Amino acid sequence: MNEARFRWRTLFLLGYLLFALLPIYWMVNMSFKTNQEILASFTLLPQQFTLANYATIFTDASWYSGYINSLIYVAINMVISIAVALPAAYAFSRYSFIGDKHVFFWLLTNRMTPPAVFLLPFFQLYTTLGLMDTHIAVALAHLVFNVPLAVWILEGFMSGIPREIDETAYIDGYSFPRFFFTIFLPLIKSGVGVAAFFCFMFSWVELLLARTLTSVDAKPIVSVMTRTVSASGMDWAVLAAAGTLTILPGAVVIWFVRHYIAKGFAMGRV
Amino acid sequence: MKPINQKAWWLVLPVFICVAFSAVLPLMTVVNYSVQDIISPDRRVFVGTEWFAAVMRDEELHSALWRQLSFSLAVLAVEIPLGIALALSMPARGWQASLVLVLVALSLLIPWNVVGTIWQIYGRADIGLLGAALAWLGVDYSYTGDATHAWITVLAMDVWHWTPLVALLCYAGLRSIPDAYYQAARIDGARRFAVFRYIQLPKLRGVLMIAVLLRFMDSFMIYTEPFVLTGGGPGNATTFLSQYLTQKAVGQFDLGPAAAFSLIYFLIILLLCFILYNWMQRVGTADREGAGHE
Amino acid sequence: MFAWMVWTTPVAVFFCCIALMLVGMTVWEIKSPTVLRKGFLPIATTRGDRLFIGLLTAAYINLGFVGLAGKLAEWLSLEQEPSIWISFAVSMAVLALILRRG
């Protein structure tokens, strides 16, 4: 009986992985082909293996600067999000104060607003402030959905830590900052990791705001990729190579946080 | 009970300022847009509720809303059970666990337009694996020509893209259950389903709430992926609310109607999320109280 | 500085009202803290919850009215579309009802 269940589970898992990885495999496969091969013949593996597509991306500044721009604003966004979310999440998980539940829900409503709604006001706001086409503009715009999420996740983690720990520390004469950084933060390390992962994820993949708020200097990779449609038709091979490269930073990040996820979290009082 | 401490407001203040700057100011602006006909910043006319009336009577919008609702419900109906099942079948420890975790999470970290591109390539009958395979099986498949095919492809893409989010959250929730719980269940001779219903599911409440709400909100504002894949077509088959809005706001630059539409859109999401949020919290409390009585 | 927000008087008044309402609720809360109670709404609510639900309902009433105004004028064969102030009055009454009895 146990044996059968184990086999069934493994089969299900393998089936899902097949479904999940085939589209990615196909893109990676295409990135090593030439355009002629893609359009002329249907091959499961590249017949004329080529790295030319990757060479294009790494030598052309308009391509690789896209990656650098994206990484810069994602990093800024991650740092700001976590920095402001930590104290707020602590307040929500430890104290009740006037309007706490409503402020919490209000924060969540910002996560619900479609970015398209904010597109034009953001454009006007950042033009007025002279922030258009800078990394900080995109990072600030992405705060709208990342800060609420970070607060939400961190609050869940913090609620899992018993309040007695805080009280003991205060009795032992710890000041709030000292307690927070030396005792509390290490305890919710995995929460910070998971929150940072989600911030990275949602900021890295967002297109609409990132594209609207930038033009040249801070142009992210996601909008660079939209220009591969040229007069001679789609440049499928370079597009596939660029797409493959956008997966890599994400894969690195997930590799770093895998322990925190595998360790488990339940979000909130259980 | 948590102690009452009004000073806690100081800790929330940074978040408050951040979000006020990047959400409240823009929202106020949107409200301003929605009651004016803006020809240029200096030439604008107050039109009252005219845009709201126009948007509310827009037939195209009604059908986009129904398409959106059915799409979001389909997304939840497929992704939540699939994600839970996936989390249950992922290995718990060892190198396999790490490997599977990374492989499963991969699709989450692909930029949305790349997701669209991947599926665009994948589904094409001439150069794509899926399209070619279906053609070989004798299915006349075309996501650009057939409305049903387009809809299913967008759904499949979303399932492919976002089920891992549900799975990761549930997986983390499952890992937080101490082994002692399972041992107790084994001693009681509990069946597999009973273990799931009374041990695993209650522990998953917190993470499932995040998963359901996130998936609902995000599928309700899906834009980039269908835009890249189908461009909203064929016809209007995959034109969802966000796309309709963006067409209006950026494409035709109709600030007023787009703003009125945004506010209505926001109200719809607000209501649905409020109901969902309260309902899930209530289910959670009921569950906990039930456990207390046993 | 705020020119980009293209302010109009009615919207400014609207947001001032919201802000005043929030301030008022806070002062009220300090003077006499709210208790969780169950009214005709399906969930137990505090004063703040009721205000939120009431405002949301009011918004929906006004929207529905605006959407249906054209049809209403047709059915009742009115000269022109009924004024938005009607639905505004109705929605405020509903808001008051929810605050008191919700």
Q: Chain C partners of A101 at a C-beta cutoff of 8 Å?
A: 46, 48-49
Q: What is d(CA A34, CA A31) in angstroms, rounded to the nearest whole number?
A: 8
Contact B28 C11 (CB under 8 A): yes
Contact A267 B14 (CB under 8 A): no
Q: How far is B21 from chain A (nearest CA, A)?
A: 9
Shared domain check, C86 and C44: yes
Asked if C48 reaches chain A (Cβ–Cβ under 8 Å), the answer is: yes
Shared domain check, C46 and C26: no
Q: Chain B partners of C59 at a C-beta cutoff of 8 Å?
A: 267
Question: What's this model's pTM, rounded to 2 decimal places?
Answer: 0.87
> A49-81 pLDDT, tens per residue?
888 888 888 888 888 888 899 999 999 999 999
Q: What are the phi and psi torsion angles at B6 (to 5°)?
A: -70, -20
Question: Which domains does chain B show, CATH number per domain?
Answer: 84-239 (1.10.3720.10)
CB pairs under 8 A between A and C: 21
- Which residues, other chains included, contact B285 with Cβ-Cβ below 8 Å and sequence gap of 6+? none
Identify the domain containing residue C17 by its residue range.
Answer: 1-33
- Digit-by-digit pLDDT tens for chain A (270 residues) are 466 667 888 889 999 999 888 888 888 888 888 877 777 777 778 877 888 888 888 888 888 888 899 999 999 999 999 999 999 999 998 888 888 888 888 888 888 777 777 888 888 888 888 888 889 989 988 998 899 989 988 988 888 888 888 888 888 888 888 999 898 999 888 889 889 988 998 898 888 888 888 888 888 887 887 765 554 566 778 888 888 888 888 888 888 888 888 777 776 543
Q: What is d(CA B272, CA A61) in angstroms, rounded to the nearest whole number?
A: 45
Q: Chain B partners of A270 at a C-beta cutoff of 8 Å?
A: 176, 202-203, 205-206
B 218-277 residues with CB < 8 A to C: 264, 267, 270-271, 274
Picking from B32, B33, B56, the nearest residue to C63 by CB comes out as: B56
Q: What are the phi and psi torsion angles at C50 (to 5°)?
A: -65, -40
Mark out the alpha helices in chain A (DSSP H runs): 2-31, 35-40, 52-59, 61-94, 100-112, 115-129, 135-159, 164-171, 176-179, 185-187, 189-205, 208-212, 221-224, 236-263
Shared domain check, C52 and C10: no
R_g of chain A, CA atoms, integer Å = 23
Collapsed DSSP state (helix, strand, coil) of residue A49: coil
Q: How far is A97 from chain C (nearest CA, A)?
A: 10
Q: How far is B192 from chain A (nearest CA, A)?
A: 10
Asked if A127 reaches chain C (Cβ–Cβ under 8 Å), the answer is: yes
Given this model, what pLDDT does residue A79 score? 94
Shared domain check, C90 and C41: yes
Shared domain check, C74 and C54: yes
Contact C26 A101 (CB under 8 A): no
Q: Chain C partners of A102 at a C-beta cutoff of 8 Å?
A: 48-49, 52
Shared domain check, C54 and C102: yes
Picking from B23, B25, B160, the nearest residue to A23 by CB comes out as: B160
Please name which of A112, A143, A109, A107 lies closest in space to residue A125, comparing C-alpha atoms.
A143
Shared domain check, C43 and C18: no
Give this complex's ipTM.
Answer: 0.85
Given this model, what pLDDT does residue A150 score? 92
Please name which of A98, A97, A94, A100 lies closest in space to residue A170, comparing C-alpha atoms.
A94
Shared domain check, C77 and C57: yes
Given this model, what pLDDT does residue A129 score? 87
Q: Which residue in this structure is represented by tokens 């599977």?
A: B100
Q: Which residues pair with B38 in a beta bridge?
A: B44
CA distances to B37, B121, C75, C82 from C69, in Å? 21, 48, 10, 6
Concatenating the DSSP letter of every residue in C38-86 gives --SSSS-B-HHHHHHHHHHHHHHHHHHHHHHHHHHHHHTT-SSPPPHHH
Shared domain check, C69 and C52: yes
- Digit-by-digit pLDDT tens for chain B (294 residues) are 678 888 888 888 999 888 888 888 888 888 888 888 877 767 777 887 888 888 888 888 888 888 888 999 999 999 999 999 999 888 887 788 888 888 888 888 888 888 888 888 888 877 778 888 888 887 777 777 788 888 888 899 999 999 999 998 899 888 888 888 888 888 888 888 888 888 888 888 878 888 888 898 888 888 878 887 877 777 777 788 888 887 777 667 777 888 888 888 888 888 888 888 887 777 666 655 544 433
Determine contact, residues A119/A209, Cβ cutoff 8 Å: yes
Collapsed DSSP state (helix, strand, coil) of residue A214: coil
CA distances to B28, B47, B56, B253, C4 from B42, in Å? 19, 15, 28, 16, 10
Question: Which domains does chain A show, CATH number per domain?
Answer: 61-263 (1.10.3720.10)
R_g of chain B, CA atoms, integer Å = 23
Q: Chain A partners of B110 at a C-beta cutoff of 8 Å?
A: 24, 205, 243, 246-247, 250
Picking from C4, C48, C52, the nearest residue to A128 by CB comes out as: C4
Collapsed DSSP state (helix, strand, coil) of residue A113: coil
Shared domain check, C70 and C95: yes
Domain count, chain C: 2
Contact C60 B274 (CB under 8 A): no
The two tokens of residue C55 are 């405002």
Asked if B30 reaches chain C (Cβ–Cβ under 8 Å), the answer is: no
Q: Angle at which helices A100-112 and B205-220 pack, to 10 degrees?
A: 40
Shared domain check, C86 and C50: yes
Q: What is d(CA C65, CA C62) in angstroms, rounded to the nearest whole number?
A: 5
Contact C4 A101 (CB under 8 A): no
Scanning every residue of chain C, which has its alpha carbon at the shortest distance from the alpha carbon of A123? Answer: C4
Interface partners of chain A (CB pairs < 8 Å, 3 or more) are B, C
Prior bond of B234 cis (ω within 30°):
yes
C 80-99 residues with CB < 8 A to A: none
Shared domain check, C85 and C70: yes
Interface test with A, best of C2, C4, C6, C25 (most A CBs within 10 A): C4
